Amino acid sequence: MSRAIYPGSFDPVTYGHLDIIKRSAEMFDEVIVGVLNNSAKNPLFSAQERQEMLREAVREFDNVKVISFEGLLVDYMAKNDISVIIRGLRAITDFDYELQIAQSNRKVSGDSIDTVFLTTSIEYAYLSSSIVKEYARYGTDVTDFVPGFVEEKLRKHFS
Ligand code: ADP
């Protein structure tokens, strides 16, 4: 069975993330969406809240599971027998950082991990969780960027 993990902060999940999840779910038998629980990143939503929003958002996919992990991704992967990482690439500005992480993950895993990059669908190329949070903070409508229940959660948070 082919399994892959799609790790990220997902603070909060956007249509850009969901596009990557949908496309990966067609490529792999099982996709695990891994919410990084890292307090140093100072997220807007707790790992629990980010997981709940993701679970609601991926409800339609039978082969997608949402988990949260702390510490190193490679350690979680080794313990759970996963050898493929999925990442999304929006623009050349993502590339340097992603290449470095992919190569170091491969190195520390003794060459047992590969990273698969999916290029963003053009309609989501500009979209990031940070942009969504910035708009929501100032009351701008974000319904084109995130599912309705995420928009509601943002609205409550900033009201
Ligand atoms: P991180 O903090 O690890 O960058 P994010 O939640 O910001 O976590 O992103 C998780 C993954 O989703 C990354 O691979 C990122 O490049 C990708 N991603 C984010 N937004 C988009 C988008 N609009 N289109 C495609 N991929 C995206």
Residue-wise pLDDT for 104-123, tens only, equals: 999 999 999 999 999 999 99
Mean of all residue pLDDT scores within the chain: 96
Identify whether 24 is a catalytic site residue: no
Q: How far is the CA of 11 from the centre of ligand 1 (A)?
A: 10
Provide CB contacts within 8 A for 30, sequence distance 6+. Answer: 1, 2, 3, 4, 63, 64, 65
Q: How much is the average pLDDT of 127-139?
A: 96
Q: Which of these is catalytic: 9, 17, 24, 153?
A: 17
How far apart, in whole angstroms, are the C-alpha atoms of residue 40 and residue 46?
12
Residue 48 corresponds to which tokens in the numbers above? 């629990």
Q: Is 157 a catalytic residue?
A: no
Specify the 3-state DSSP secondary structure of 39: helix
Q: How far apart are CA 50 and CA 107, in angstroms?
A: 30
Ligand 1 shell residues, CB under 6 Å: 8-10, 14, 16-17, 20, 87-88, 90, 94, 120, 124, 127-129
CATH match for 3-125 among 1.25.40.10, 3.40.50.2000, 3.30.70.260, 3.40.50.620? 3.40.50.620
- Which pLDDT band holds residue 25 (cuts at 50, 70, 90)? very high
User: In terms of pTM, does the model score above 0.75?
Assistant: yes
